[in-house]
Chain A
Amino acid sequence: MSYASIVVPAFNAAATLPETLRSLSAQSFGDFEIIVVDDGSTDATAAIAEAHAKTDRRVRLVRQHNRGLAGARNTGIAHARGALIGFCDSDDRWMPDKLDAHVLHLATAPHVGLSYAGSAFIDETGRRTGHAMRPRLSHVGTAHVFKRNPVGNGSVPVFRREALEAISWRPASETKRDWVFDETFRQSEDIECWLRFALTTDWSMEGVPGLLTEYRINSGGLSARTDAQLAAWERMVTKLRPTDPAFFARHESAARAYQLRYLARRAVSSGDGETACALVSRAFAESRAPLREEPMRSLTTIAAARLCARYGDAPMRFARNVLSAVRS
C-alpha cells in the first residue's frame, strides 16, 4: 500500500492534465498513488489519465457523473489508501520535492494534521508570472486561517488521514461515501474546509518553506465572478458562525476586509481598475485591520487599484516587466 495518496480532481482538463500528471510522477518521494477523479468530463480527460496510467502504474482513474470540485475531491479521498492524502487540481503542478517535504514534516511533527507550503503563480501558458504566495509557516491560529488563508489554494495541502477523518461527515442526502469538502459550495470550498478544520479539530496546521505548488491563474472574466465569490465566502461565514459566535464577532470584519482586499488585487491583475477601487473602499470601510496588520501590502493594493482605474493595465504590465527583468 502506498504511503501517500494524491487526489487529482479533473473536469474537462485535457489541456493541462498531462503536465499536472508529469509533475506528480516526477516527485522525488516515490511511495505514492495518484487518484485521478474524472468528474464527468466531456473531453479526453479520462483517456489522458488512462494513457498516463500505462507509463506510471501508480495512477488510478475513477470516473463519476459531474459533482463539482468538492465532490470530485471527496470521491478521491474515499478511494485513497495512503496514510497521507494530498491534492493537486488538474491545471496546477507540484514541484519535484513537494511530497518529500510534507512527508518529512508530518513524520517529525505529530501534532500537525495539515502541512502546507507556498505557491508560485503560473499563467495559461504555464509560465511563472512572478507573483507568489508566501504564507506564514508557524504560529498559525484559527484567526490567521480565517483572515489570511495560509494554505492558499486546493493544490497545496497534504493531510494526515486521521486529520481528514476528523472533519468528514455523512450528510443525510448522501448514500455512497463521506464528505470532507462541502459539496454544496461551488466556490470557497477550500477555505471552508481549512477553516472548519481549524475550528473543529485539535490538529495544528503548519507550513514548510518553499514555493512547492505552481498554481494557475486564469485572467479573463473575474469581475463577473467577484459577486459570486463574495457570496460564497459569506455563505461560508454564515455556515460556520454558530460553531463559535464569539470568534466570529471578534474576527469577521477583519477577515471580510482581507477577502475584499484579495478580490481587489485579483481585479487589478485582470486590469479591472474600477472594480478594484470599489472593492478597496469596501474593504477598508469594513475594517482597518489589514492597514494596521499589513500596511505595505494594503497601501500597494490601494495604489495599484487607483493606477489601474486611471491608466488601465499599463502600470501592471510595466511592474510585471520590471519584476521579471529584476528576477531574470
Chain B
Amino acid sequence: MSKLPHIVHLVDDTTPGGVMRVLDHIYGSPLMAQAAHHEIRAVPRNKGIASVQADMIVSHLSVSWRRLPALVSLRARHAHLPMVHVEHSYTEAFTALNVPSKLRFFTLLRNAYALFDTVVAVSHAQGDWLTARRLAQPQALRVIPSAVDLRSFRALPAPRPGGRTIGAIGRLDRQKGFDVLVRAVTEIRDAALRLEIFGTGPEEETLRALAKGDDRITFHGHAMSPEEAMRAVDLVAMPSRWEAYGLVALEARAAGRRLVVADVDGLRDSAGPEARFVRGHGIASWSNALTLALRSGAEGGDAARATGAATEFAAAWNNLIAERLGPSAPGLRAAG
C-alpha cells in the first residue's frame, strides 16, 4: 500500500454541495484507490496554505485576487511537485453575470492557472471556454467531467408512467434559477402538475413568495439524501444561470428521469444528449419546454443511465496521475 503515490486534495469550500460530493467520491472510489492514496485536506479561506508532504497536490480551491499570494507561495514551496488545479466554479456564463471587469478577471485566472502544471476543466464546455479565452495553456488543460457514485440512483424505481412531478434539487441560490422555474410552473394550467423543491438557501423567502397561492408547489427543505429527492420526482428541471458541471443532471440521468435544463456551460455535458435544452431564462420558453417534456411521457430519459461516468472519471484521474508522476512514481516522494 505504501508504494502508492500520496495525493493531497486541497479544498476551501467544505459546505455540502457539488465540490464536496466529488471529493467524497474521489476519497471513496475503489478504482481510484488502486492508483493512489487520496487525502482530502480543508484549508482556511483567506489565509496562507500550510506546506504539504505529498507526491502531488490537487487544488480544488476557489481562485481570487485575495487567494493569489497564497497560491504563489504554495507553488514556490513545492517547486518540484506536480500541482493540478480543478476549476469547479468559473465558466462563461458565470463571467457574464458576475464579473464587472472581465479583462481583470481573465488576468487573474491566467496568472493563477499558470502556477499549475495541469488545469482540469470539469466539463467540455468549460474546457472549450478556458481554451477560447486563452486562460489555460492547451498542453496544460485536461477535461475530466465530474462524477459521483451513481449506483444508488440507478437502483431507484423508474419514474411513474404519466407522472407529472417536476423536481428542483439544489441550493436555493440565484445561481440555480429556481425563480424562473416557479414562475414558469405557475403559468402552466395543469391541476395534476407538481413542483417539488428540495434544498435551502438565501433565495428561499423570495421563492416562497413567488409560489404563494399555488398549492401545486411544495418546499421540502433539505432532502434526507439526494436519492430520496430524486425518488419523489418524474422530471428534473435545472434553469441554472451558470453551472461548471451540474451533478444533479448526471444523477437524474442515472435515475432515468427526464431533464429540462438551461443551455449553459457544463449542463451541455452533464445533461446528456436526451435532455431538453432551453435557451435563455424567458418564462414563456420555460413553460413551453416543461409542458412539452411532460407531454412526451416517461420516455426521453437517458436509456443508458449515464453508464460509465464514474469509471471514466477514475480512469481519467489515474491517467493524469500516471502522466504527472511517471510509471516509477510510487516512492518518489519529494520533500514538502
Contacts and interface: CB of A to CB of B under 8 A. Distances in A.
Do A and B originate from a single complex? yes
B183 A242 contact: yes
Contacts of B97: 199-200, 243-244, 247
Given A110-B134, A243-B241, A245-B179, A199 B103 contact: no
Contact of A141 (B101, B129, B280, B281): B101
Nearest to A112: B103
B134 A242 contact: no
Given A169-B280, A199-B96, A201-B96, A111 B106 contact: yes
A201 B133 CA distance: 12
Contacts of A142: 100
A285 interface: no
A202 B103 contact: no
Interface string A139-178: 1011000000000000000000010000001001000000
B332 to A, nearest CB: 40
Interface string A245-279: 11100000000000000000000000000000000
Given A242-B183, A243-B241, A202 B99 contact: yes
Interface in B68-98: 92-93, 95-97
A243 B100 contact: no
A201 B95 CA distance: 8
B160 interface: no
A320 interface: no
Interface in A50-105: none
A161 B92 CA distance: 17
B92 A202 contact: yes
A213 interface: no
Contacts of B101: 139, 141
B100 A204 contact: no
A111 B103 CA distance: 7
A74 B197 CA distance: 39
A201 B100 contact: no
A94 B43 CA distance: 57
A310 interface: no
A239 interface: yes
B282 interface: yes
A305 B282 CA distance: 37
Contacts of A242: 179-180, 183, 281-283
Contacts of B179: 242, 245
A141 B174 contact: no
Interface in B140-198: 174, 179-180, 183
B100 A141 contact: yes
A140 B93 CA distance: 18
Contacts of B99: 202
B287 to A, nearest CB: 12
Interface in A272-294: none
Contact of B92 (A201, A204, A244, A245): A201
Contacts of B100: 141-142
A153 B189 CA distance: 41
Nearest to B98: A244
Interface of B: 92-93, 95-97, 99-103, 106, 129, 132-134, 174, 179-180, 183, 241, 279-283, 288
Task: Give 5 nearest A-B pairs by CB, closest first.
Answer: A202-B95, A242-B281, A141-B100, A169-B279, A204-B102
Interface of A: 110-111, 139, 141-142, 162, 169, 172, 198-204, 239, 242-247
Given A110-B134, A198-B96, 5 more contacts: A111-B106, A200-B97, A243-B97, A243-B280, A245-B174
